[in-house]
Amino acid sequence: MTIRADQRFVFNNYGGVYQVRLETADDLAALQHLDEPFWVAMSAPISQFTCDPALLERLDADFDGRIRSVDIRNAAAWLLKVLRALDGITQRSDILELEALNREDGRGLQLYEGACRIIHNLGMTESGHISYDQLRNRSAIFAQGQQNGDGVIPPGAIEDPELRAFAQAILDTMGGVSDRSGAVGVDRSQLEAFISNARMLLTWHDHAATDPDQGALLPFGPDTPERYRTYAEAAPLLDTYFRQCELAAFAEALGRPAPPPPLVEASARTEDEANAFFEQAPLAPPRIEGVFRFDKGINPLYRPVMSRMNAEVLPILLGRRFDGRTLTPTQWQTVKAAFTPYEAWVNAKKGGEVEAIGIEALRSYVEGDYAPRLQELIAEDLQAGIPVDVLDDLEYVILLQRGFLDLCTNFVSFPNLYHPERQAMFEAGRMIMDGRVFSLNFRIADVATHSAAAARSGIFLLYSEVIGGRDDASFYIVTPVTRGPVGELGVGKRGVLFDRNGKEWDVRVVATVDNPVSLKEAMLAPFRRIAALVSSKAESLAGSMEGQLEASADSMAGAVEAQYPGSVAPPPAETQATSSGK
């Protein structure tokens, strides 16, 4: 435990303990050379501090919910490195003067350049400073800048109409992302995905034109896609029908009736009921001979598609073998085989996400210079914009500038804890209970853990649950009772807490650590414990004796105070609350 000989420290006596003084930004330099034994606190949960949550989150570098001395040291060292003028720290200012940034430091220069771009985007070219609220308004910062560093290019920001149409095509097919200003645009990943899909689709499409067996692949020539759509709609219906015919024939061979297909009750009371029946009914009644007839018995729901099959598909594929009235299982297999190459080609299609753009437009996008030009715009945006980490660090500078010195005076030293007109950051506020005012209250995370550790403190402690409104999260506080009688202070006692912002909370005592509050109570404590162990009759006797002892204790305590003047400070007059707190 050493202090450097060339390091000047100033120590003040706070509450009988000498602690390092931290009053100005220059005092923060001492933190790098002040060993931990001279720190009042070396680790504390962030939930204990009534402070800007954003500052506490940034200081908690390892996200464990605690601030340690190393976090304080690192923050102080970083702040003093990126700033060359420290007046803002001493003044607790939420305005960052650009000239205060240290441009001789690499990071300081980056912050300075980023701040200049922000001021330009906000139209504050004559201003040499920026506030925390202005930094937090990200949408305003980026809405005014054509290049905002996020690599997202909204089509509306592109001047060239053809390139703008290309970006819009990507947006329409691949979706978009919001840039920092809120506008929807295209980034590098979407551009690459669009080009990749376009190339796969073009390769798939060109295969049809280059296949050596065009007749097999396109049995209907250019009309094949339309005829295939008719076939694809009818195929599962006919497959099921012929299977049902096989089932009917086999059932007859076994001498059993064919099981009827499951149907809803036939009803025509409403059109919906009729449609529900037709949807569950088969294509046609199955026939033992296994032939499908086009001239009778077809489910009305499927007549249109079967009519197209009869007129447009079957005559061409079956020729003279098709009489226009019946379709046999063998003929149906011939039809299916004719569509097999085209169906395999359709199923092999990749890149269909961009098909709506059109083959010719996709070809021009892939073969032209559209992608490189848009990629260049994205790269320029990323390079010329304001990086997110620069914005975050500029916010961090102001957070430290306006709140770090106060946090240090509630961590490295505790001057406010002993000041009658101030409150430390870790104090919860002012509690009123049983007509008394308790100014010293601390938030705690767990009553059981804290009370077990505090049992040997020698102080009478009240543990209370603090409850606010419907949207407020409850929490717990501990209150040391250091003067006056304990009286009715105990589990179940209610009161109110006025927090540091003046908000009123309901308070209920949930546990205590029972220690004597005064010399008098310390002298009486053994007899009170004896009284709790004896029988009811003995209790009565001990109670009468306790009264005599109490009078004697008053006399003895007074004698001690008279013999050693100043050893026991007289308690100040208690402030009486307007509410009883019960």
Mark residue 299 as left, alpha or beta (left: phi above 0; alpha: psi -120 to 50; beta: remaining). Answer: beta
Q: For 449-455, what is the mean pLDDT? A: 85
Please indicate whether residue 533 or residue 568 has the higher confidence score (pLDDT): 533
Please indicate whether residue 199 or residue 451 has the higher confidence score (pLDDT): 199
Q: For 316-333, what is the mean pLDDT? A: 93
Of the given ranges (105-119, 250-264, 288-302, 343-357), which has the lowest mean pLDDT? 250-264
Cα→Cα distances 519→458, 466, 484, 563, Å: 12, 31, 11, 15
Cα angle vertex 402, ends 397, 406, to 5°?
A: 120
Exposed/middle/buried for residue 533 (C-beta within 10 Å: 0-12, 13-18, 19+): exposed
Residue that has been written with the tokens 């001239």 in this structure: 295
So what's the pLDDT on residue 120?
79
Listing DSSP states for 489-529 in one string gives -STT-EEEEEETTS-EEEEEEEEEE---SSHHHHHHHHHHH
Confidence of residue 209 (pLDDT cuts 50, 70, 90): confident
- Do residues 118 and 386 touch, judged by C-beta distance below 8 A? yes
DSSP secondary-structure letter at 100? G
Q: For 295-320, what is the mean pLDDT? A: 93
Q: For 528-537, what is the mean pLDDT? A: 48
The strand pairing partners of 43, in sequence order, are: 68
Q: Rounded to an integer, what distance in angstroms lies between the CA atom of residue 380 and that of residue 151?
A: 8
Helix (H, G, I), strand (E, B) or coil at 429: strand
Residue 291 has pLDDT above 70, yes or no: yes
So what's the pLDDT on residue 559?
52
The strand pairing partners of 312, in sequence order, are: none
So what's the pLDDT on residue 536?
44
- Do residues 342 and 228 touch, judged by C-beta distance below 8 A? yes
Q: Rounded to an integer, what distance in angstroms lies between the CA atom of residue 373 and that of residue 390?
A: 27
Listing DSSP states for 255-319 in one string gives T-PPPPPP-PPP--SSHHHHHHHHHHS-SS---TT--EESSS---GGGHHHHHHIIIIIHHHHHG
Please indicate whether residue 419 or residue 155 has the higher confidence score (pLDDT): 155
- Do residues 335 and 231 touch, judged by C-beta distance below 8 A? yes
Q: For 387-396, what is the mean pLDDT? A: 86
Q: Rounded to an integer, what distance in angstroms lies between the CA atom of residue 545 and that of residue 314?
A: 117
Residue 507 has pLDDT above 90, yes or no: yes
Mark residue 451 as left, alpha or beta (left: phi above 0; alpha: psi -120 to 50; beta: remaining). Answer: alpha
Q: Rounded to an integer, what distance in angstroms lies between the CA atom of residue 4 and that of residue 2?
A: 6
Whether this model's pTM surpasses 0.75:
no
- Tokens in use for 383? 């390079």
**Which residue type sits at 368?**
G
Which residues, 6+ apart, have CB-to-CB distance to 520 below 8 Å? 550, 553, 554, 557
